[in-house]
Structure formats: structure tokens, C-alpha cells
């Protein structure tokens, strides 16, 4: 069995959990469907949000097994998306300068780009990290 690569941190998970009624911590741990449900139901009417306080260690462990570590840090990318997403700073961090500029000029592509990135950021970081490994 492979050992986890510690791509996600519990501390970041708990910081995002504070905003968890928006689903932020669920998106962070690669659970976009339940993240979206939490977003539209205010943390599953706050009940799911409270329960997640105890589920974060397990979600963290699963994410560490699921995602590829590398040059880009998932935690930095997620903090940039969460707090500066409308400015596209996370896109610049990923090396996506053109879309970073578009986000900067359009408020995160009018919010729809931010929603897209909530669903796909873990995969985007994994993709860049995998490319780095292939380059050698």
C-alpha cells in the first residue's frame, strides 16, 4: 500500500471549516458534490457543518492518498483561491498567467470561474505536479 504524501493539511482544513457552511473545506478535500450541497444548504442546515468538525481528519487522510505532491502546494493554492480568487492570484500561482489576468479583470470571470476552480483546483494542481515529474 502506498504511503500518503501529505498534500493537504488538517490546519488548513479546519481554517476552511470555519467557512464550512459554504462548503469550502469539502471542496478543499476533493468533495465538490457535497461542497456544492453545503454551499446551497448553508452547511446542510449547519448540522453537516458541525459533524464535519469530526470528519476532517478522515477527509484529510483520503486527500493525502488521492493527490500527487510536487512543486505546487495544494494548501497555498487553496488559500489563494479562497481569499483572493476573484483576483486570479491562484491562477498566477498555477502558472496560468492569461487566465489569471482574465480573472483579475473580470472578478474571477464574474464568479463562474471561481466556482469552476472550486470543483477542479485539486486536479489542476495534481496535473501541474505530474507534468513536473515527467519533465524530470
Q: What percent of the chain has pLDDT over 70?
A: 97
**CB–CB of 20/49 below 8 Å?**
yes
- Judged against a pLDDT cut of 80, whether residue 73 lies above it is answered with yes
What is the per-residue pLDDT across 3-33, written as a single tens digit (0 to 9) for each? 678 999 999 999 999 987 889 999 999 999 9
Which pLDDT value is given to residue 136? 66
Please give, one letter per residue, the 3-state secondary structure of 72-112: CCHHHHHHHHHHHHHHCHHHHHCCCHHHHHHHHHHHHHHCH
**CB–CB of 112/126 below 8 Å?**
no
Amino acid at each position: 500500500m502506498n504511503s500518503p504524501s501529505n498534500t493537504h493539511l488538517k490546519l488548513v482544513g479546519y481554517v476552511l471549516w470555519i467557512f464550512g457552511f459554504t462548503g469550502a473545506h469539502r471542496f478543499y478535500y476533493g468533495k465538490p458534490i457535497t461542497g456544492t450541497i453545503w454551499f446551497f444548504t448553508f452547511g446542510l442546515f449547519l448540522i453537516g457543518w458541525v459533524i464535519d468538525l469530526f470528519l476532517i481528519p478522515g477527509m484529510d487522510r483520503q486527500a493525502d492518498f488521492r493527490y500527487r505532491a510536487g512543486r505546487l502546494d495544494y494548501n497555498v493554492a487553496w488559500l489563494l483561491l479562497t481569499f483572493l480568487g476573484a483576483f486570479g492570484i491562484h491562477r498566477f500561482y498555477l502558472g496560468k498567467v492569461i487566465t489569471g489576468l482574465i480573472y483579475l479583470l473580470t472578478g474571477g470571470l464574474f464568479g463562474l470561474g471561481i466556482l469552476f476552480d472550486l470543483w477542479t483546483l485539486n486536479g489542476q494542481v495534481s496535473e501541474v505536479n505530474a507534468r513536473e515529474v515527467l519533465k524530470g
